[in-house]
Amino acid sequence: MPAQVLNTFSKSITYQVFDPNNREHMVAFTCLVFNGRQHPTLRFQLELPHLDIMSMMLKKVAQVHIDQDPGLAVEAVAALAKTGAKKVESIAS
């Protein structure tokens, strides 16, 4: 009987590619950020090179905001160039 309950539970969970433009995905992200718990039925596939779901989701959410304001990348490159940082070009691409 416990195996049957486990099978029923696992069938109700879906694994998807996280899309920060998808409202349902952002609800799941918010659950994780504010409650430290995953959405009850929605899970996300871990994408390389990320080592954990939270860092992957954070990067994707941040990337959406950076993409909405291209001036951010330009300002970041300029700020990093002043510090002598290497690999500045990767931010703007």
**Tens digits of residue pLDDT in 24-60:** 999 999 999 999 999 988 999 999 999 999 999 999 9
State which residues form the domain around 87.
2-92
* pLDDT (0 to 100) of residue 69: 92
**Tens digits of residue pLDDT in 60-82:** 999 999 999 989 888 988 888 88
Domains contained in the chain, number: 1
**Long-range CB contacts for residues 15-23, cutoff 8 Å, separation at least 24:** 15/43, 15/44, 15/45, 16/42, 16/43, 16/44, 16/45, 17/44, 17/45, 17/47, 18/44, 18/45, 18/47, 18/53, 18/56, 18/57, 18/60, 19/60, 20/57, 20/60, 20/61, 20/63, 20/64, 21/64
pTM exceeds 0.75 for this model: no
